[in-house]
Amino acid sequence: MTAKKRKLAQLSNGNYLFHDGSSYLRDNDPMPVEEVIPILVDLAKRDSSLGYSLKGQIPSDDYSLLKRCITSGRIAAQREEDEKWIENMLRLPVPPEGLVDPDWEQLHRIALSENVIKHGIVGLWETFSDEELWHFVRRCKPAKSPLRLWRVTVENEWPQRKTEIMWAYNEQSIRAYWWFHYWNVISIDELTPEDRE
């Protein structure tokens, strides 16, 4: 008794891709899994529900491989988009949305950093590790940074006080940065070239 053929997808040429319980078929012609998975990944790019609809329709090992390929393809496409976004942000001499844009400012801080720093940009967590982002930003950093160096004294609720030197665009962005980290700003002083030595 032959297993029933399950229709998996329609191909661009009008043929159908089937699975008969043990092998893949293009109409009635057998196909190796190595040829099937790239076809399914390509089809899933056009129809995002396809990958999920194949669960239980194809062997679980093949489904796991398909899922990994789809995910890595999406991450690669997302990374390409993110790289364009980073390059555009670094070209801007001022924040894109008024006086405070933490992502724009953080990218410029990374560009100035001599060492890898934790990037903390939520939209980039999936596509860039801290080190990957540092290397990428350093390759496309602007010739002149829009950030200036500041000495900032802050205090928290315990009260604990500290003074830090930081790169920032302006006083508003400094206050927003420390407010986000639950510290109150006590004083802000811009450093002159003499103060830096």
Walking along the chain (197 residues) 10 residues at a time, the average pLDDT comes out as: 69 77 80 83 76 77 82 83 94 85 92 89 83 93 93 92 94 93 94 70
Instruction: List the strands of the sheet with 184-190, edge to edge.
Output: 161-168, 148-155, 184-190
109, 120 Cβ separation under 8 angstroms: no
pLDDT of amino acid 134: 93
pLDDT of amino acid 1: 43
131, 115 Cβ separation under 8 angstroms: no
- CATH 3.10.20 boundaries in the chain: 147-197
Task: Specify the CATH number for 147-197; select among 1.20.1070, 3.10.20, 3.30.70, 1.20.58.
Answer: 3.10.20
Q: What are phi and psi of 118, to 5 degrees?
A: -65, 120
* Residue for token pair 């400012």: 105
